[in-house]
Homo-oligomer: A and B are copies of this chain.
Amino acid sequence: MSPDRIVDTARRMVESAGIEALSMRKLAAELGVAPTAIYWHVGSREELLHAVLDRMLQELAPIEPAGTTSADRVASVAHAIRSQVRDTPTVHQLAMHLGRTADASFPGQVVLAREVSHAGLSGDEAADFVRAILFLIGGFQLLEGTFRQRPEGARTTQELWRGVDDPAVDPALRAALSEATGADGVFDYALDRLLRSVLG
């Protein structure tokens, strides 16, 4: 019954069934202990969740730039951050829940800033560029729904588009928006436009 064992078990529960699935009573049952025993080791449920997030953040693999040209390296970092966000939804779900998105996104942000600096950008212009890339990643995260799954009844954007009959909307556009899309393509497209426009 160390804090370590409690945090580990809590983490497993959160990762397998979501944040809401972690109750102190279920956790206690899993640990074979009275619910109130947990409070002696870790504080409240909230503090426990913070401890779980801390551990997850520590284990997050560092982002490694790849490529030779500045543009390639910046793009590789952007892609690496995005992949990591996609592959570790629980971390960002939890960070969001606890209001600690800054902590979760910061390590990648620093690596990105390094490559942007190396590309020769500086000051406000560089900051806008870094933030714009983070916006794209955040948009991907939000609209891909990586951290909140749709319930059975909910309609997708594609389904909604199939029901549209608007003469002002290009039919081919309507058709394209009616098809599911890997967000990857859109992300590549937008990032590419941004990179070209800034780094030439």
Contact = CB atoms under 8 A, between A and B. Distances in A.
A123 B172 contact: yes
Contacts of A39: none
A172 B172 CA distance: 46
A101 interface: yes
A138 B127 contact: no
A12 interface: no
Copies of this chain, count: 2
A160 interface: yes
A67 B174 CA distance: 24
A72 to B, nearest CB: 17
B143 A177 contact: no
A130 interface: yes
A157 interface: yes
In which size bucket is the chain A interface? 35 or more
Contacts of A113: 166, 169-170, 173-174, 177
Interface stretch (A26-34, A56-64, A184-192): A184-192
Given A102-B160, A134-B143, A135-B140, A123 B154 contact: no
A59 B127 CA distance: 37
B187 A198 contact: no
Interface in A61-84: none
Given A126-B170, A169-B113, A186-B131, A103 B176 contact: no
A125 B96 CA distance: 33
Given A118-B168, A139-B137, A157 B123 contact: no
